[in-house]
Structure 1
Amino acid sequence: MTHQDITATAEPAVLAQYIADLPVPDLMPGSMESVREDEFEGHRIVVRTSYEITVDDRPVTAHLMVSNNGEVHCHALPALLGGDPDLATYDFAPWDAGSKGFRNRLEGFIGTGLHNQVHRWVGGDMGPASSPNDPVFYLHHCNVDRLWEGWMHHHGRSYAPPMTASADLLGHRIDDPIVTPLGPNAPGGTPRLTLDFTSKYTYDLVP
């Protein structure tokens, strides 16, 4: 349907007002577009409206909602702008599954189970230590890494516990060799060496 087809049956100003009066549906989480659809004088009218939200000149694309009065809401904003103050710190003593901070939220021991629940939901090989047998494992862990990269973009490339922490935490401190099921002589690195891989790869979009 062309512009001429529409204007042949309706004054442009009338049509414009009709479109403006159509209710705006809520956006689905992650969507950047709302769609309004109706019939007007025998024509099917589809209005697609795109939205862009930025915070400090950075685009925010997750969990957008547009209310019927045209107000745009983004549920990602509280976390992006501060939210839970504990999430601004990577980890807290005693550095275990009950600790506050970003690490446990990302791992899924507290909060919504970001990392852990995906393994449980997929099931099969994703459940036990054989999870790398499932190609979904790599998709999932790349996204976990992307979320971590987004956190570091806002809060710095920090890590805890430090080397001054108890020797009981051997294998978890920032310069300890990373513990691996391949054994103590397996090639590997330290947590510090995992904090910045931007020289090797970057993400198109981080939260």
Structure 2
Amino acid sequence: MHLKKLNAAATPNKLGDYLTKAASKSPMHAAHGAGGAVSVRKDDYNGHAIEIRTTYQILVDGKKIRAPLSVDAAGQVHCHSLPNYQTASAVDLVKALIDGFPDEFERKPAPRKRAGAAKKVSKHKH
């Protein structure tokens, strides 16, 4: 970018207009409820207001995890837990969560049955 164009773009009015427009296109923070993380993207196109809501319910090893995933206007997925990561898919982001927080995803061994805990069968004479 040429220095004159950069200076013109950095004037308070131009920069303010750009940031206002960019903020309206950026995703809202994901909502975290029982239904999972909800990402909302908004844009205006040819006089039409576009709103896209994406809901993520994530299971790892059959257990529901609460990960605040969001999708930006370009379709990139990101998570507040990994602020420096942006991936092309939610699956790749969950893989990064597993790698980044391995203790949270440890598989716990299934409880072992005690030898004396077997069901007792009563013997009734008929």
Please say whether Structure 1 and Structure 2 have the same fold, judged by a TM-score greater than 0.5.
no
Larger Rg: 2
Q: TM (normalized to structure 1)?
A: 0.24
Q: What is the TM-score of this pair, normalised by structure 2?
A: 0.34
Larger strand percent: 2
